[in-house]
A and B are shown apart, each in its own frame.
Chain A
Amino acid sequence: MLTNKRLILAHFWLAFIVFGLALVLGAWQMFVRSPLNTWHFNPEFYYRSVTAHGSAMGYVFPTLIAMGFGYAITEASLEKPLVGRRWAWVGFFLVAIGAVVAMIPVSLGRASVLYTFYPPMIGNPFYYIGVVMVVVGSWIWVALMSINFTIWKRENPGKPVPLAMFANVAGSYLWAWTAVGAALEILFQILPVALGLRSTIDAGLARVFFSWTLHAIVYFWLIPTYIAYYTIFPRAIGGRIYSDAMARIAFILFVVVAMPIGVHHLFADPQVGAGFKFMHSVFTGLVALPTLLTVFTICASAEIASRLCGGRGAFGWIRALPWSNPIMLATALSLVMLGFGGAGGLINMSYQLNTSVHNTQWVTGHFHLIFGGAIVIMYFAIAYDLWPHLTGRASEGFGLMRTQLWLWFIGMIVTTFPWHYVGILGMPRRMAFYDYANPVISPEAFSVVMSAIGGFILLISGTLFLLVLIRGQFSTKGEAGAYRFAIALHMPERIPVALNSFGLWLALMVGLTVVNYGFPIAQLMALSETNVPAVYVGASR
């Protein structure tokens, strides 16, 4: 029962328009930095483009997907209209306006600091203000999710909250708390300097604050994908979820251990001691648990679906899966990319192996494979699945959808595998170009060309995706019926309070963050001599 279809559609459309624009920038970057480009260009354009690409893909696109999908989940799973519709629109416009406010100075070249900010480099204040507006807009969504969750629980005492809504609320809480790190960095460190109120900044402390956001934000991006794995995929292929309780445990684990692990991004940094680096490494190991549990549950759910429609044998059931179904295909391709990306992630987080790949192209390859690959391909699947329910029009063109999904998968593999390889060779990331005539660098040239070709394939796939969505807006009218989520094989009638509420888990989330971040932050705040002069970027000063 989706009543606020326009609200949800607005979120999805804005998200995918932003995605399309950022994808064009990404493909251009792949081209200009490769040996395919033999012409001179201003490297500043490259860094401007990376800033725009990163900010759009990291802050705006997934946030809008989580918000739009969250509203859809609220209405469809709780089977009642969203409470706080007006506030939802306020949040939407805050995100939209914030994105524009941030992108104006970036396009003028006055904030080429990349989306990771990198103080003591300081860009135009409006860039940071725009990012803050995006975050504040999303916090309205967090509040609405919490309110709708609480109201439903009060109206349905003792009943288990539907899994999709439980996971959705988990994701919103995770985001609310993880955004605090970057918010502290921007509001108390960067903005005063950008506005000219102060002229020095502690770059080490800023990096610690940012790491608090930087890792868990990935799980915020991941939650809609996992919700789709658990609650869309089994239903779309005619099966059941293997286990409802284990799904809840997986989402709870994300909430609890996603935050106190961010220092694994700072293994090579001088401002955090080895003890806390090790603590964060251990917790990063723990965060592999929910993913391992999920892979098992999803594969088992697929097997249930297959055996229900006649699949047999130890492996024969894989053949009997409905492969022509785009959701089936997207989920399978997503899991393959998650497997490769996850294995790479275990190397990044490793206390020792990290030095071999830190800040090389390996890292770029890693997060494009996980986010751009495993996560975004499920955003496509979510849109394909929801579209007929939102537009009130029939879903057509399964063939085109499959082509698009395959192209995305192939493009992502062709882009990221060579990236991983040159990373092992030591190729640094985020450079506008390389001297391919240098005999030390020339062996990397071929791989960079491969990556660029992958980028073009991704651009074609992204264009096809938008075409499918546009076509969906104009196809023949047809009532898609109520939007449903998958149910579990053994549906629990009663559920432990801990798996139906968040109080304990939020306390643990905050507590563990304080334990793992408290000392490093306090130590750096006590150091006064580490405030260094800001370096203003661009033509604004």
Chain B
Amino acid sequence: MATETDHGPGEAVAARIERRWATLSIVIVALLVGMAAVIGIHRATMPQARVETADPKTLHLSGEFIESNLGSAVEPDGSVTVRAIGQQYSFTPQCIVVPAETPITIRATSADVVHGFLIEGTNINTMLVPGYVSDLPVRFSAPGEHVMPCQEFCGIGHQGMWGKVKVVDRTAFLNMTAAKRRLTCAD
């Protein structure tokens, strides 16, 4: 190389520019992390917080995931709880019905292998890991229908594992609950 190494002002300038860039990089990263922290604390937007367990061997025998308890239920405080399970290769219930404009808690788990729970057109997206309960607070803003594919490879029938979510008007939903304790739109 023809260039002469110049350990003088050139090197100092190079080091200064480099330090500035490094500082800017650190500021960018701090800003991103800060944003996540503020939104997480201030608006309580965060991935699910606690570790809860449910034994897949006895899901159908006892506890909150017995078949008669699956589906949507109105709680005393007016919110709605949806309980569901995933198994190779379907969801129970296969069609979930929920009211719009209502705080909803989804509680779900898997009866066999790892599944996914994704409602297209929303940011509702969680894993169903056998042995553990997925719990997430959600709210649908408007009535409509969504597809609900399993988003994790769960065996050779994975591509057929699609559920459905029907969001209905809140009063229509409350009328439906008069007749039944647990609601689904699967039948």
Q: Which residue of A lies closest to B19 (CB)?
A: A246
The reply on A359 being an interface residue by CB < 8 A is yes
Task: Kindly state the separation between the CA atoms of A354 and B151 in the bound complex, as whole angstroms.
Answer: 14
The reply on B121 being an interface residue by CB < 8 A is yes
Which residues on A sit within 8 Å (CB–CB) of B53? 527, 529-530
The reply on A352 being an interface residue by CB < 8 A is yes
Residues 30-47 of chain A: 1 if any B CB is under 8 Å from the residue's CB, otherwise 0?
A: 000000000000011001
> Does B158 lie within 8 Å of A285, measured CB to CB?
no
Q: How far is the CB of B138 from chain A (nearest CB, A)?
A: 10
Q: Which of A372-380, A430-438, A508-516 has 4 or more CB atoms under 8 Å from chain B?
A: A430-438
The reply on B22 being an interface residue by CB < 8 A is yes
Tally of contact residues, A, Cβ under 8 A: 80
> Does A242 lie within 8 Å of B46, measured CB to CB?
no
Q: Given that A278-B37, A289-B25 are known contacts, is A430 also in contact with B125, CB under 8 Å in the complex?
A: no
The reply on A346 being an interface residue by CB < 8 A is yes
The reply on A243 being an interface residue by CB < 8 A is yes
Which residues on B sit within 8 Å (CB–CB) of A308? 2-3
Q: Which of A75-83, A267-275, A459-467 has 4 or more CB atoms under 8 Å from chain B?
A: A267-275
From A246, A267, A296, A297, B47 is in contact (CB under 8 Å) with A267
Task: Kindly state the separation between the CA atoms of A429 and B150 in the bound complex, as whole angstroms.
Answer: 9
Which residues on B sit within 8 Å (CB–CB) of A112? 156
Which residues on B sit within 8 Å (CB–CB) of A533? 56-57, 112
> Does A359 lie within 8 Å of B151, measured CB to CB?
yes
Q: Given that A270-B135, A350-B36, A530-B131 are known contacts, is A358 also in contact with B125, CB under 8 Å in the complex?
A: yes
Q: Given that A203-B130, A350-B32, A428-B116 are known contacts, is A491 also in contact with B47, CB under 8 Å in the complex?
A: no
The reply on A108 being an interface residue by CB < 8 A is no
Which residues on A sit within 8 Å (CB–CB) of B150? 428
Task: Kindly state the separation between the CA atoms of A487 and B3 in the bound complex, as whole angstroms.
Answer: 12
Which residues on A sit within 8 Å (CB–CB) of B57? 532-533
> Does A430 lie within 8 Å of B126, measured CB to CB?
no
From A292, A426, A489, B118 is in contact (CB under 8 Å) with A426
Which residues on A sit within 8 Å (CB–CB) of B151? 358-360, 428-429
Residues 111-124 of chain B: 1 if any A CB is under 8 Å from the residue's CB, otherwise 0?
A: 01110101111011
The reply on A531 being an interface residue by CB < 8 A is yes
From A271, A350, A430, B153 is in contact (CB under 8 Å) with A430
Which residues on B sit within 8 Å (CB–CB) of A273? 49-51
Q: How far is the CB of B42 from chain A (nearest CB, A)?
A: 12
**Nearest 3 A-B pairs (CB), nearest first?**
A426-B120, A530-B131, A428-B151
**Apart from A352-B45, A431-B149, A491-B5, 14 more pairs, CB < 8 Å:** A118-B152, A118-B154, A120-B114, A203-B113, A204-B131, A272-B51, A274-B49, A282-B36, A352-B40, A352-B46, A354-B47, A435-B162, A531-B131, A532-B112
Query: What would be 22 A-B contacts, judged by CB atoms less than 8 Å apart?
Result: A43-B158, A118-B114, A203-B130, A240-B1, A268-B48, A271-B51, A271-B129, A274-B49, A275-B49, A277-B47, A278-B36, A292-B21, A351-B40, A352-B46, A354-B47, A355-B125, A360-B151, A426-B118, A429-B151, A432-B158, A523-B51, A533-B57
